[in-house]
Amino acid sequence: MLRFLFLPMFFVITVKSSTSDIKAIYWLQQPLFPPSAINTSLFTHVYYAFLAPNNATYQLDIPDSTAATLATFTATLRPSVTTLVSIGGANFKADLFAAIASNAAVRASFINSTIAVARAFGFHGVDIDWEFPRSANEMKDLGQLFKELRAAIVSEASATSQKPLLLTAAVYFSVDYFLSTTTSLLYPVRSINENLDWINVMSYDLNGPWSNRTGPPAGLFDPKSNASVAYGLRSWIRGGVIPKKVVMGLPLYGRTWQLLDPSVHGIGAPAVGAGIGMDGAMALFQVLEFNNETGANVVYDEETASVYSYSGSNWVGYDDPVTVAAKVEFAQSLYLGGYFFWAAGLDTNDWKISTQALNSWMLCINERGRVN
């Protein structure tokens, strides 16, 4: 594992992106970080997050203010990157997706509206972010939704002589969605392979202040549990998804805990709840400010290939350029399709983490002599 910590850092690249690999980021509608602030030379795809279907008509609701934001988003970014609109998200009711996906007429109406909105605002693709299907039937319905979306996309493209929209989905960190410690559900792998361009695997939030012990929020490894990026990504491959269709998620935020006893501050230390930051989360640039302002101790944990810092009773688990480089190397060792970040506005001002991910990705390609 040590070798991950000795990757050449800040390798300078001269080519932008000579490959078709995916280097994506989600942009959450927020006035503080306009789309124009995104450094598009670091990304191939930018996702608009999120639109939500109306709970009575099951079509996408676009109030005037949202329409203006959507139009600005694509007008700003479309010249330099591929844009996708993401539907759903963590705060969107899973019940509503279940209602849409379980009924053929409702699926058709939802699909029609989704394609119409994507085209009306000049997006290149759509993304389904259902967090999460909760039964075998809902997983089956999800597979059916993908299939019908793909069919509609193909026929719309041919009817209008346009390039087909891209179709992606954001999914759980592992192919089996854990309902509890004993039961899990399998994603519709066959439908994913046949109908999606790729999946965005949410390889984060694996530990958080909802647990009373500190842990890496997105550790590459975990010798003591399966809550690791490596386990999750391997599970998708083992589950049968084409590796090129698997895209690794990277969080641009840390998770914070309040330690029970400031003198017990390792991984697995007892904690009494969320630490500083909103709901126990902090943007990476805020973590660095916290480290600087408090003179926090910063620790690399080799076992999990993660980094954490602590000061007094505050504990923060996060990613930095070293851990991101390790993850990118790991993703390449599995021949994955690329990576994506959650979310724009959380990196440092000068995009340290996003830049490191891009440089590491290109470096690995050069070293492996891969032709894309």
Ligand X SMILES: *[C@@H]1O[C@H](CO)[C@@H](O)[C@H](O)[C@H]1NC(C)=O
Q: Which residues are catalytic?
A: 131
CB-nearer residue toward ligand X: 109 or 144: 109
H/E element holding 255? strand 253-259
For 328, the token pair is 């990118």
For 316, the token pair is 């923060």
Burial of 251 (0-12, 13-18, 19+ CB in 10 A): buried
Q: How many CB atoms neighbour CB 5 within 10 A?
A: 13
Q: CA 265 → CA 59, 192, 257, 318, 321, distances in Å?
A: 49, 42, 10, 15, 22
Q: 75 and 36 in contact (C-beta within 8 Å)?
A: no
DSSP 60: B
User: Scanning the structure block, which residue is given the tokens 């389904």?
Assistant: 128
| Of 10, 95, 92, 2, nearest in space to 352 by CA | 10
Please enumerate, as own/partner, the contacts of 293-300 that have beta carbons within 8 Å and a separation of 24 or more: 297/265, 300/5
| Of 207, 215, 201, nearest in space to 327 by CA | 201
| Of 19, 25, 163, 161, nearest in space to 83 by CA | 25
H/E element holding 291? helix 284-294
